[in-house]
């Protein structure tokens, strides 16, 4: 007996090409198959796919077209290239540093052989500890000391290697909070946090506004207010998540603020997570200090302090997907190391990085050259914008300027900001991040990344911005 | 003013060595610091670390010493090595295949240069799609066709690359079920599933017993029973998770059973996840058929069918952490691709594997040689055990024998099984997996992996087992 297959049912509704084969096939069990095929045809004829979980449904049903998504798509569809597509959209919306890729290329071409080929295969192929090989943790601890100017000193046993900082943030949210609990995030802050905490861990984020009138400095009274409001609504606040250096502002948190923050989390008996992925990107004169240093030297309870770091920013290796959790809490470490089975990094990549990070001369040269190149681009960008009367916040870290364009808005509101963003995207053809995407409460601020282009592109970008300022 | 730091408070209670530096430091804000340091000293003196989430607490507070953990530790502490430690514990408890590592080594040493060094750095370093690069998906689709004897044909858009099969299982559980929901797992089955579904996704697992008296064949009536019992208790069953080829039994699911299963999940309007990571490890004469093939050729609604695959078993590359979800459900694909930000695989590893998987001659040679080597070890092992009157289930896939040692037990119970396991570990000094660890309801069965040792080790293992059989 042969069962005729209703071919139409295989064509899925989302543009998936499917190779159809074996249209007719022998049935192994005649009687049951006849019965089955009747049920089947009836059920298959429904065009909607089988129902998924509520948490999965919430992921796509509430999705709206955010400026981030729209801008990103425009850049993919029509990417600027000075020679091949000079009228394309310039991507200034991603904090990715392409300015020092030549140094990485040089290192890889000279050293891959030694790190991988000459390595024993038993050091690459079999199972390894999910939370990272000891050699990488040791190399990373030394590297972090070098990058953070010895503001931090870590033991490898206090580290968990993750698949990028994103996975580190998610893991900490699983460890520190339960579904429905919340964390406070001094803002403006990168929108990625909302996704990283909410999507699977189910943890809510509460942005705590830092205002332009205060130079975007964090005030403890705002934290108190947000904490108390959450408490009133029956929401448990479990941690403060801090970005230092800040993204999108590019400023550094000073020791005094860290003191106050540590006092705050101690008093509330909650945690402090310091995301320090932009350490090593500071290009100004301000000193970067890790929260680990302050907590340590000032005698705070370090079991409530956790640091996130990674190589996507400092070494501009986002494709390598390397993040790290540094924690001083044995329960977090124990749990996080177990969770590492879900995001374990491939060993060949770890081995490659052990070699790269242990090459102290390369690291020193890389950071020095990178800082000079970033600073040069930053200064050129700030000067360029000043021509049009556009001012930047005095940043000293990060791959972006934090730009006040409020004088170009038609109305002093989020609507006005998004109108201006739309003009920048569609008239100037540059993709930037509006402050509202970063929970900034003052309209008119934009994050503009400058490390995705070269020095020669700056006049072109300025010319594009002029298209709008001229009309004003 | 200088604050004296209570040094003791930095010493954590879990054996972490910490480098103490900067014991004295200037305080930036005198009055607040005095107040702070009083609070601080009082709080820090408490020796317990800051409280973590309930889900994290449940991870370590309910932990018990399972046979798996104990055996693994013994192997780490005193690992057998024919020349350097001939009296050590032999690791037969991990389904890791070391028999064909020489072939991988050869390929890597000949091809790393072309895959990595000669590659443009822009193809390795920047951000890439989190769910895997298209080239790897394409290569993997072709490779799966080759391994599964064209029992499956996939479009790259239906694939999500994950950090090993473990992360694929977790991701599907987030997509298909909500916290507190359950999935049915025909058992014996590897215990890893409980962790992968429960720990972060909060999904319960319900083992559905397959009995030795039925040759461990899955019966739909057992599934029905488990489904109805769960329903009665108010638990929503969202899927059946199937292991094909089975781990620990090493048998293959036949087409008729797959038909019945597909009918079952269709009738209940739930999902079917088929974990096919051991496809390509079949060494017997039975044919492996993917559930994708059956669902496709027989006209079932494929939107409820999802396949898990990976390279840890088929190419014995667990250190590379490569898994894949193949799904025909657009909502699962859309959500899973978003979740991929949490487990994205490093691009250098992906590039290396594009080259390896595209090398059709290597793949063909590897699989042929590997199968011969596995089959040889399997037959030697079965013969060796038969000498002692110990019978193995007739497996045709996997890196293990499923061994009936019930005649060596002092009592026909789980207790008797664990006593025997203890003797095997401490008298025979071999680490094996007791059936109770795999939710096997019939006492006396053990999974013994044979691909972690060489042919020359077999007489030694048999000699060790004889220590026990002689005493019987």
- Smallest Cβ–Cβ distance between B59 and the set A181, A338, A346 belongs to A338
**Paired tokens of A249:** 């502002």
We report the CATH number of the domain holding residue B456 as 3.90.1150.10
A152, part of any domain: yes
A343 with A369, same domain?
Answer: no
> Do residues B367 and B296 share a domain?
no
- Give 3-state DSSP helix, strand, coil % of chain A, rounded to 5: 50, 15, 35
Instruction: Please give the pLDDT value at position B19.
Output: 31
Predicted TM-score (pTM) of this structure: 0.89
- Judged by phi (left if over 0) then psi (alpha if -120 to 50, else beta), residue A298 lies in alpha
Together in a domain, B292 and B205? yes
Residue A352 is encoded by which pair of tokens?
Answer: 């490659």
Evaluate whether B15 touches B5 at the Cβ level (below 8 Å): no
pLDDT band at A64 (very low <50, low <70, confident <90, very high): low
Q: What are phi and psi of A188, to 5 degrees?
A: -60, 140
Q: Please tell me which residue of chain B has the smallest CA distance to A173.
A: B53
Q: Is residue A51 part of a domain?
A: no
Number of domains observed in the structure of chain A: 3
Asked if A101 reaches chain B (Cβ–Cβ under 8 Å), the answer is yes
**Is B172 within a domain?**
yes
Q: Nearest C-alpha of chain A: how many angstroms from B322? A: 8
Could you tell me if B138 lies within 8 Å of chain A, comparing CB atoms? Answer: no
Residue B241 in 3-state DSSP?
Answer: strand
Q: Which tokens sit at B253?
A: 């699911």
Chain A positions in Cβ-Cβ contact with residue B169 (cut-off 8 Å): none
Q: What is residue A79's three-state secondary structure?
A: strand
DSSP B51: P
Give the whole-number percent of chain B exceeding pLDDT 90.
Answer: 77
Among A19, A81, A126, the strongest candidate for a mutation testing the B interface, having the largest count of B CBs within 10 A, is: A126
Any alpha helices (H) in B86-133, and if so which ranges? 101-112
Looking at the structure, tell me whether residues B205 and B161 fall in a common domain. Answer: yes
Q: Is the Cβ–Cβ distance between B250 and B400 less than 8 Å? A: yes
Looking at the complex, does the CB of residue A366 fall below 8 Å from at least one CB of chain B?
no
| Contact call for B331 and A9, based on CB within 8 A | no
B170 and B195 both lie in a single domain: yes
The size of the A-B interface in CB pairs under 8 A is: 382
Cβ pair B438, B191 in contact under 8 A? yes
**In which domain, by residue range, is A22 found?**
2-44
A347 to chain B, any CB pair closer than 8 A? The answer is: yes
Cβ-contact B164, B321 below 8 angstroms: yes
Edge-to-edge strand ranges of the sheet holding B400-404: B391-392, B400-404, B445-449, B433-434
Last residue of a domain, which of A308, A335, A359?
A: A359
* Whole-angstrom distance, CA of residue B209 vs CA of residue B195: 19
Q: Which of A106-110, A318-322, B27-31 has the lowest mean pLDDT?
A: B27-31
Is residue B158 within 8 A of residue B215, CB to CB? The reply is no
Query: What one-character DSSP code corresponds to residue A427?
Result: T
- The pLDDT, as a whole number, for residue B431 is 98
Q: For residue A154, what pLDDT band results from cuts at 50, 70 and 90?
A: confident
Q: Does A114 fall in a domain?
A: no
Give the integer Cα–Cα distance in Å for A187 and B286. Answer: 61
Kindly list the residues from chain A whose CB atom is less than 8 angstroms away from the CB atom of residue B269. 50-51
Q: pLDDT at residue A40 above 70?
A: no
Q: Is residue A112 part of a domain?
A: no
Is there a contact between B310 and B164 (Cβ–Cβ < 8 Å)?
A: yes
Question: Of the candidates B116, B255, B318, which has its C-beta nearest A112's C-beta?
Answer: B116
Q: Which residues of A touch B54 (CB under 8 A)?
A: 178
Shared domain for A314 and A426, answered yes or no, is no
> Coil, helix or strand for B75?
helix
Beta carbons of B10 and A153 less than 8 angstroms apart: no
B177 and B321 together in one domain: yes
* Final residue of a structural domain among A308, A342, A359: A359
Q: Is residue A462 part of a domain?
A: yes
Q: Are residues A319 and A182 in the same domain?
A: yes
Is B215 a residue whose pLDDT tops 90?
A: yes
- A215/A266 same-domain check: yes
pLDDT of residue A5: 31
Identify whether residues A301 and A410 lie together within a single domain. Answer: no
Q: Does B178 share its domain with B217?
A: yes
Residue A177 domain flag: yes
- Angstrom CA distances, A360 to A276, A309, B121, stand at 21, 19, 21
Residue A23 has a pLDDT of 31
Q: Does B337 reside within a domain?
A: yes
End residue of a domain, out of B328, B359, B390: B359
A459 upstream amide cis, omega within 30 of 0: no
A267 contact residues in B (CB cutoff 8 A): 39
Can you give the pLDDT at residue B433?
Answer: 98
Q: Which two tokens stand for residue A103?
A: 């140094």
Same domain, A295 and A410: no
Tokens at residue B311, please?
Answer: 């390279």
pLDDT in tens, A398-423: 999 999 999 999 999 999 999 999 99
Cα nearest neighbour of A452 on chain B: B126
Query: Mean pLDDT, to the nearest integer, of A139-168?
Result: 92
Q: What is the CATH number of the domain that holds B332?
A: 3.40.640.10
Is A118's pLDDT higher than 80?
no
B260 vs A contacts (CB less than 8 Å): 32
Taking residues B64-84, what's their average pLDDT?
A: 91
| Residue of B39, B53, B107, B300 to mutate for A, most A C-beta atoms under 10 A | B53
């Amino acid at each position: 007996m042969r069962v005729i297959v209703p071919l139409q049912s295989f064509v899925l509704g989302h543009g998936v090409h499917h190779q159809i084969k074996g249209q007719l096939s022998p049935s192994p069990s005649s009687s049951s198959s006849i019965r089955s095929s009747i049920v089947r045809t009836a059920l298959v004829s429904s065009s909607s796919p089988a129902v998924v979980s509520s948490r999965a449904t919430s992921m796509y049903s509430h999705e709206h077209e955010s400026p981030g998504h729209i801008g990103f798509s425009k850049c993919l569809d029509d990417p600027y290239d000075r020679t091949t597509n000079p009228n394309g959209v310039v991507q200034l919306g991603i904090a990715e540093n392409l300015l020092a890729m030549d140094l990485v290329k040089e290192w890889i071409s000279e050293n891959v052989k030694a790190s991988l080929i000459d390595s024993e295969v038993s050091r690459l192929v079999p199972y390894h500890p999910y939370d990272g090989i000891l050699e990488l943790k040791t190399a990373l601890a030394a590297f972090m000391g070098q990058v953070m100017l010895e503001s931090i000193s870590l033991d490898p046993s206090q580290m968990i290697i993750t698949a990028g900082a994103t996975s580190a943030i998610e893991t900490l949210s699983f460890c520190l909070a339960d579904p429905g609990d919340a964390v406070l995030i001094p803002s403006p802050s990168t929108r990625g946090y909302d996704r990283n905490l909410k999507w699977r861990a189910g943890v809510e984020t509460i942005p705590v506004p830092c205002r332009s009138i205060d130079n975007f400095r964090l005030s403890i009274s705002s934290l108190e207010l947000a904490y108390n409001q959450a408490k009133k609504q029956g929401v448990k606040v479990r941690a403060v998540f801090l970005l230092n250096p800040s993204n999108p502002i590019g400023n550094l948190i000073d020791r005094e603020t860290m003191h106050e923050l540590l006092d705050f989390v101690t008093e509330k008996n909650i945690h402090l997570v310091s995301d320090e992925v932009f350490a090593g990107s500071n290009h100004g004169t301000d000193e970067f200090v890790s929260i680990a240093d302050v907590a340590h030297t000032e005698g705070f309870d370090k079991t409530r302090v956790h640091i996130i770091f990674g190589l996507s920013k400092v070494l501009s290796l986002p494709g390598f997907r390397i993040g790290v959790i540094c924690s001083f809490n044995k329960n977090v470490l124990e749990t996080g190391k177990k969770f590492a089975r879900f995001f374990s990094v491939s060993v060949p990549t770890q081995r490659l990085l052990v070699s790269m990070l242990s090459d102290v001369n390369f690291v020193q040269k890389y950071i020095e050259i990178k800082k000079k190149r970033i600073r040069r681009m930053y200064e050129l960008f700030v000067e360029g914008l000043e021509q049009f009367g556009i001012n930047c916040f005095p940043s000293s870290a990060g791959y972006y300027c934090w730009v006040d364009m409020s004088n170009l808005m038609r109305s002093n509101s989020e609507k006005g900001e998004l109108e201006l963003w739309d003009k920048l995207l569609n008239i100037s053809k540059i993709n930037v991040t509006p402050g509202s995407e970063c929970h900034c409460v003052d309209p008119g601020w934009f994050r503009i990344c400058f490390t995705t282009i070269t020095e020669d592109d700056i006049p072109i970008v300025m010319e594009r911005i002029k298209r709008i300022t001229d009309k004003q």
